[in-house]
Amino acid sequence: MHPHGTLPGSETGLSRAELLAAVSLAIDLGLGQPMEHMLRSSLIATRIAERMGLGPQQRATVYYANLVGWIGCHADSHELSALFGDDIAFRADTYAVDMTGLPFLRLMMSHVGRGLPGWERGIRAAGLLVAARSQVATLIHSHCSSAGVLSDRMGLDGQVGKALAYVFERWDGRGLPNGCRGEGIPVEIHIAHVADVVEVHLRTGGLEHAKGVLRSRRGSQFSPAVADVFERDAAAIVDGLLEIDVWVAALARAPDRDRTLKADESDELLRAMADFVDLKSPFTLGHSRGVANLVAGAARHLGMSPSDITHLYRAGLVHSLGKMGVSNQIWEKKGPLTTAEWERVRMYPDLTGRILSRVNGLESVVSVAMKHRERIDGSGFPRGIAGAELTAQDRLLAAAEAYQGLLEPRPHRPALDPRGAA
C-alpha cells in the first residue's frame, strides 16, 4: 500500500534513467572521484561495445553495469574504514595500481590504520597481511551481493545484476571472490573494467597516459580483445568526453531514456535509493525510510496538501544521499570532530542537492531535502538559514530527521527510547 494514498497527477513522470544517473553521482563520491566519472565511463563503454559489434541487449547491460557497477562499493565502508582509515581515499587510490599482487598490497599497507600510532599500525598491518585476501574476499562478496540486490530493486534488467557478480574478477583469474578468468567473465564486465580505469587516467593524465596504463595491464587485469579495440580506436572513443555536458550525452545513450515512472514506481525507486545510502554505516540502516514515514505521517496529521505530503515523503527518502561523499572515518568517530572534519559534514546536504538537482520533477523535493539540517535559530547547516526563511515543510523534515536519528545508536551514544528522543 502506498504510504499516502493516491497522488496528484503532477507527481508522475520522473525518468528512471535520470534517477539512476543521479545514483551514479553518489557512487562517484564514494569512489573518491569527481561527479560524472561513472557517466563518462558509461559513454566510453558504450562506444567500445558498439565497435565490438554487441547487440542492443548487451549494449544495455554494458551501459548499466558500468553506471551502477560500484553500487555496492559503500556497503563495505564500515569495514574498509576499520581497516584503512579513510574508505573514500582508499578507493580513490586503488585506480593507481593493478589491483593484485605487490602494488595492491603496498597500497593496502600504506592505508592500514591511518591516523593510529605507529605500533598499532604495525600490528594491524601484520594482521592484515595474514588475513588480507580472505578479509577482502568477504568484503567483495558483500559488495557483489548487495550490488545485485540493489540493481534488481532499482528495476534494472536481470542481466545487469548477474553481470555485477563479476565486477571484481579479472581476465587473468587473480580477481575475487571466485577467481573466474577469461571468457568465463561476461564481456560486458570486461568492457566496464576498461572504461572505468580509462576514464580516471584520461581525465588525470591524458589519452597517451590512459593508453599506457591499458597496455601495461592488457592480459592481466584487462581482456586483450577489449584493450585492443580501445587501442585501435582510442581517439574516436574518447572524442569530446572532457568537453561535453556528460549528463546530457550519457542520458541520450541510456537504453530506457524514454521510460517515465508512475508515482508508485518513482517511490519504489526512491526507497531503493534510500536503502542504498543507509547501507553506508551499520548505525543508519533504515534511517531514511524511517524519516520518510515519520514526516509523511506528521504532514498528514497536520492536514497538509497531498502534493506537500508526497514532496516531504520523497525528501525524507533522499535527504542523506550526500553522505556518500563523507568518509566513514568521520561518521563513525567516537570523539569530537576536528574543524576540517566538521567542514566535510556540513557539506553533505549541499552534495545531496548537487546529486539530485538535474532530475526533472524533483525540484520541490530537493529544496526541502537540502534544508533538513537547518535550525530556526540559524545554528544549522549548510547555510545557517533562520526563522521565517524556513517553511513549515522544512521545519517538519528537520524535526523528523532529528527524532529518527535519536532513536538510532551512534558511535558516541546509545539509541534513545521514543520518550527520551521526544
Q: For residue 328, is pLDDT > 70?
A: yes
Band (133; pLDDT cuts 50, 70, 90)? low
Q: Is 319 domain-assigned?
A: yes
What is the number of domains present in the chain? Answer: 2
Q: Is 257 domain-assigned?
A: no
List the beta bridge partners of residue 260. Answer: 15
pLDDT at 70: 87
Predicted TM-score of the model (pTM)? 0.89
For the CA atoms of the chain, what is the radius of gyration?
22
- 286 with 140, same domain: the answer is no
Dig out the grid coordinates for 419 from the structure.
520518550
In the predicted model, what is the mean pLDDT of residues 201-230? Answer: 96
* Chain position carrying cell 505530503: 309
In tens, the pLDDT along 45-67 reads 999 999 999 999 999 999 999 99
- 244 with 288, same domain: the answer is no
- 244 with 166, same domain: the answer is yes
Q: Is 1 domain-assigned?
A: no
List the beta bridge partners of residue 218. Answer: 222
- 159 with 140, same domain: the answer is yes
Q: Is 24 domain-assigned?
A: no
In the predicted model, what is the mean pLDDT of residues 367-381? Answer: 97
In the predicted model, what is the mean pLDDT of residues 135-157? Answer: 82
- 41 with 145, same domain: the answer is yes
Burial 83-100 (b: 16+ CB within 10 A, else e): bbbbbbebbebbbebbbb
- 337 with 272, same domain: the answer is yes
Band (197; pLDDT cuts 50, 70, 90)? very high
SS (H, E, C) the chain: CCCCCCCCHHHCCEEHHHHHHHHHHHHHHHCCCCCCHHHHHHHHHHHHHHHCCCCHHHHHHHHHHHHCCCCCHHHHHHHHHHHHCCHHHHHHHHCCCCCCHHHHHHHHHHHCCCCCCHHHHHHHHHHHHHHHHHHHHHHHHHHHHHHHHHHHHCCCCHHHHHHHCCCCCCCCCCCCCCCCCHHHCCHHHHHHHHHHHHHHHHHHHCHHHHHHHHHHHECCCECHHHHHHHHHHHHHHCCCCCCCCHHHHHHHCCCCCCCEECHHHHHHHHHHHHHHHHCCCHHHCCHHHHHHHHHHHHHHHCCCCHHHHHHHHHHHHHCCHHHHHCCHHHHCCCCCCCHHHHHHHHHHHHHHHHHHCCCCCCHHHHHHHCCCCCCCCCCCCCCCCCHHHCCHHHHHHHHHHHHHHHCCCECCECCCCHHHHC
| Distance, CA of 409 to chain centre | 23
Last residue of a domain, one of 203, 226, 252: 252
In the predicted model, what is the mean pLDDT of residues 312-336? Answer: 94
Q: Is 4 domain-assigned?
A: no
Out of 93-102, 106-115, 117-126, 238-247, pick the least confident.
Answer: 117-126
- 306 with 388, same domain: the answer is yes
- 88 with 226, same domain: the answer is yes
Q: Is 2 domain-assigned?
A: no
Mean pLDDT of the chain: 89
- 181 with 296, same domain: the answer is no
Q: Is 23 domain-assigned?
A: no
pLDDT at 2: 45
pLDDT at 13: 81
- 240 with 285, same domain: the answer is no
Last residue of a domain, one of 252, 283, 302: 252
- 311 with 222, same domain: the answer is no
Q: What domain range includes position 223?
A: 31-252
Q: Is 342 domain-assigned?
A: yes
- 208 with 351, same domain: the answer is no
Last residue of a domain, one of 202, 233, 252: 252
In tens, the pLDDT along 21-36 reads 999 999 999 989 999 9
In a 13 Å sphere around the CA of 406, the CA atoms on its Cβ side amount to 13
pLDDT at 73: 75
**Would you mind telling me the total number of residues written for the chain in this entry?**
422
Write the CATH number for 207.
1.10.3210
